[in-house]
Structure formats: C-alpha cells, structure tokens
Chains A and B, each alone.
Chain A
Amino acid sequence: MLVKKVQASRDALLDPEAGEWKGAATEVIALKGTPLTLQPSPYVKAAWKGREIGKVKSVRVSSLHNGEDVFFRFAWADPNDNDRISDQNVFPDGAALLFPLNGDAPLQTMGSKTQPVNAWYWRADFGEQGKNNVAEGLGTTRLTAGSHVVCRASWRGGTWQLVIARPLAVPDQASEAVQLRPGSAVKMAIAIWEGSNGERAGVKAFSKQWRRVEIEA
C-alpha cells in the first residue's frame, strides 16, 4: 500500500466523506476471525467454540499523508452501529491498526516481549480521541499516558466510514509509538470488532499478514 502525499488540510482529510479521498487508491483487505487456539483465556476458548468470530469479512482501506499527518480511511459494511455501551451485555464496534515498534514483530500474538507492537485504536464510544496502545504479546496491551491518535467516524446506510490519523512523527513517544518517515516503509495490520457479535479484546476480525505500507516522500 502506498500512502500518497497530497496537499490538503488536516481537517479535510479527517473527514471520511471529503472530496480529497476521491482520488485515493483503495484496497479491499480480507479479514479473518482470530484463531481460538491463540486466545489466552480458557473461558474464551471454550465459550466461543462453534461461534462465529470475525463478523466483518473485509474492509476497504485508503491512505494519504500531507507531510505532517498520516490518514487511514476505512469503510466496511455493518448493518448496525453499536456506538455506546448501553447495557451490561452491549459492546461497541471498534477498529485498530497495528505496527511493529522495532521493525518486526509476530502479528498473531500482538508482538512479544522483545518485539513490541503499537496499536492505534478507535472505538465507536471513544469520540475523536483515539487510543495509543503498546503490546508485548497476548494479554499485555497497555494504554500509553498520551495519545496523538485522532479518529473521525460516521455510520450511514449500513456502512462505517472511519479515518484514523496521527502526526507522522511523535517524538515525545519515541519508545511507545511507531515513527513514520516519508520515503520509508513500515508493516501494518488491521483489526475490526463487531460489537453486536460480542466482539472485544481477542475476539475480532484481523488481517492475517503484515502489509507493507510505503510512505511517499
């Protein structure tokens, strides 16, 4: 995937429906349910046996940057928007991007002790402030004190449209957020949680392989 450089304002690119996105290349990325064998909770292993994990089967992804900020735009079909935790048994929809923090990391386990990963996390009930997570293996996600991740989402006619954005470089988070440089490439993966299916934590749909993301100089 190429993150093309464009001349456009942050505000425009944050809007998933802005005209600036019209010309951006779009890729359809297939998603799979996370494997039961990897779930760290014996309860989840047992209770989700025979249940569908990963309701969202694919997501359309485009990306742009304007020299300052990087923008990933997602669109996926979802018949209902679960945007609030309105009851004890209700879960919101969510989406996240995953990056290795030090060049490489195992994707299936969300990193490892020596190869941490960085997740930019949107959830429908969070509002515009996305969360910055670091993980060193299954069950270890940790929110960092600050987050430069900004999200804007809208749901209409059975489709979520979402932009997750961040400054390319975040020098104050040198060890807890991936640094993106124009003219270089990183690895990236995507996860989507379908709230109405009880998807949260390790129960989600994800893109099984790291994808190479090149940031145009």
Chain B
Amino acid sequence: MKKNFGLGEIQRMILGAIKNPDQPHAELSSVICEKPPITSQQRLRIYQEAYKNRMLESLRDDFPRVEKILGSDEFDKNAAMYLESHPSRYASLAEASQHFPQWMKESSDELYEAASVDWIEILASHQVEVDRQNVLGPQEIGMGIPFVIIKNATLFSFIGKTDIFVSYRSWGEIRSRQMRPEEFHFFQMISGRMEVEELAKLVESLRMDEGQLQNLFSNWVRDEVIYCKRRDEC
C-alpha cells in the first residue's frame, strides 16, 4: 500500500540509508519507486557508493602522509570511522577534513603528526603570496640597500613531539620543511613586517651567533620563508 511520507521523513530515511549501506532499509520499499531499468535497491546503491567514494577520496587527497603510513585499506577503515564520528556539517569537502588530525591523535602520535603536516599544507595552499615587486634576491642582501623584512604570510606551523614543521607557498608550490626549535623561536619573534634596525635589536637580545644568523637568514630568503623588500620602494 502506498504510504505518504512527508519531506522530512523521506530525507531522514534516505540520509540514514546512504550513511549505513550495510544495514537493511526495508522502510524504503514504500518510499522509492520500483521501476525498470534497475531495481530500487540498485538506485539507492548509486547514492550510497557515491557518498562513500566522494568522502574517502577527499580525505585521501587531503592526507597523503597518513595514507602512506597506514596503507590504502587501513586508511579507508580509519576514514570511515572518522566520518561516522564527524559527519560533515560544512559547505565544502575541504572543511569537512579539518578535524581529522585531532581525531588521528587517538591512534598514535606519528599519525597525528603526519595528518597535521598534511593539514597545514592545505591551509598554506589557500593563502595569498607576497607581491614580489621590489623583493631583493639573497645576493642583494647586505649590499647596503635599506630593506624591510616581510614574513611569508602563507606559512603555517605544527609543533610535533620532537620536531617543528612549517608549510608555506612559494611561486604557487607548497613547500614543507622542519625547523629546529631555536630557528622557529627566532622566526616567531619576527613580526609580519620588520625594519632591519628592529631586527638588529632582536638579534642582539637573543644573543645569537652572527655567522649562524647570517646563514639562517640567507637560507630563509633563498627558500622564501621571508622576503626582504627595498625600504624606499616599499
């Protein structure tokens, strides 16, 4: 007998069936039309498969380091459990991934770290790079040209148990590297945009070795962790 379900009832039943494809959903026999060329079960299956594939694929794309550690099957099992405990309440698939690192923490520090580095790469990929006009090359630094220091604003960091990871954008590419704690500490002390005199004061207060500092600085400029721009044309 045809039963007239309301829109809300239908949606809750369909949502439940899509999320739980392994359970029987006899109630849907009076919801979905039975009409060739395929059965109502097959019709529902199309949505169930699409949901599972879409969500798993999105998590796999976002967390390649975790998949590499776990292997595909184990990753999918974990991802399915994550989706069960953290169903998406977001407009975009990217947002739906955001709790995955924290969730992985319950499994192991190694997985948490891998997921967190994957995640800061995603955040870095969404940011705007500095306008490169008047950016000084590493060889031009220290040639008496007054400059200001601009931190790469696309940089995101993750402080792991033993290591510190940073990810940032440079020429549209995502770069990730580890930083030693003292290097990271120094980086954090630099404000978003700093005059070279302020930097000199900071260096003095930190009592850093000048040679070591120069080395660090030119590496950062080369790798675009920071930019130096001509002060007069800035």
- Note whether A and B form a binding pair: no
Q: Which residues of A contact B (CB under 8 A)?
A: none
Q: Which residues of B contact A (CB under 8 A)?
A: none
